Structure 1
């Protein structure tokens, strides 16, 4: 009997040990991301769908987009809860004390904020808008003292009923970096995301204000992505294939690990860094670790045209075909991705050239 009781005690001890070991899932709670704004963010705000899909395709899977509003339809399933309230003003949200309830219901770790468009439309001044930003920031930090805030320099505006709106946006956007610098802390950093530069109210919106469903939302997503992945930090590891030159054995590389529009491509020793990681999209786009796309510079179609990275636009100079012989062809130009002059050294420029079947135009994904 004593032996039996001793055996039972051992079994019970083992069960307790198993049940009390923390699981990996419990140790790695998803990072909760709130997109906060107006109709540009929420109605339907399909840049959020593109952003979620981009995060998933590059290994940032341990995230949870949160909000009290459901995901609008964007053509595919995605994690789209949000706080994009059509018609809302930054000043109205602050004055009506609406944000604390949303924060309490969703408990975000990171907030992406594009707010101020309706304030501009209502002729509310920059100082008043920034005061609302400060009150909203205080509420975010009261909810989470370690809140990371990504604040947008808002999109340009040119609505038919507001000739002055364009200038007012410029005034607000020029003031946002100074506001962010004054309020950012080590515990709760603020990052400015430039949604204004390179965005065209004629080409990228449906009405001078709201982004269209092609280039508009693509440009917005391409600006949010690098800032958001930086905020996510080591929580996820970006993934992507390297593209290796058949002649050189070196990798397709964004020069100097640059992330700015216009940064050129070159050959460099393969090193596993994000500036050598590429993901291949269903529309023919090849997206780098920065979130920007492989691009025939200046829409060029002649041999010798430089290849760089640029905000993803969906245009033909950013569409590529991977051929069975290992060549990569620009769909707009019909020219091949080429290591210039048959060179193989580090720093060799990569450009477009007439397809010739030679080894400096053959590439492999690894």
Structure 2
């Protein structure tokens, strides 16, 4: 996700209508698993994997939790490529300069094996240094980064820039940050001759190069996913859609749509924000108190039990560690329902700063 008003560096400058149509789309799709072997993450046997697509959509949250064995910090989600992505990661959006390096190192030493960043955040170099400082082998770490809006016509340059700053030969997941190809000469304008379908066509070429193991999207609503999947040039279904998800923005229709299409959802801003209704939500506080957990831990568990990976952001070592204390407990179906039924709606990240609208209210 990109913050409203983010300083862009010039250098960094309806559901498918029938089953028949769905089959037509899938006949064009080329599984990425045929192009490359999944990354060796994780090597150690303490991690276990769950193919979430095998759990019925109608399954209760407690059933899902039982399938996870309550060992969330050691769990991975199986993507449509066969790759295994750690369920809990460290987010780095809006982290202050010179803080990300230590945060990444602290997270990896605490047991995290999933780090999320983006070219637009301006901190990929710090992330790369933090990974190096941790001493954790690269093959044990899942790195996600994202293509910046002004780089949609320069996908090759974008990924090479990220790899250089991250000090790595490959990333595990490369996302199109927003469905908006912004003109770097005027960030309030959209390229007239280029859209996200064109960008996806170029992204599909990357896995064969070995520099990218999986490709996906971020901030894609149902409307834009349909446009992408219906296009003849779409040969690869996105492995992931990274979207804002928390009890004040649960987006059930979008999450279910992605699940139906085999697209895993990663939740960003999963803790809401300091000015969101969640900060003073009495139901959330009561559930947390009853569990002997923090409200942040409860929010993360809510996201995990919905079948989404979570990437909480923090630069404080104690909070980073606390956010990883998710093993051995779960939320009941009633508690999940209470959290999913919060009356207030609030988005941390809107689309008013973009030259095109990307959120359409089709997620509720």
TM over 0.5: no
TM superposition score normalised by structure 1: 0.30
Q: Per residue, is there more strand in 1 or in 2? A: 1
- Which structure is larger by alpha-carbon Rg, 1 or 2? 1
TM superposition score normalised by structure 2: 0.30
Whose relative contact order is higher, 1 or 2, with alpha carbons under 8 Å and at least 6 apart? Answer: 2
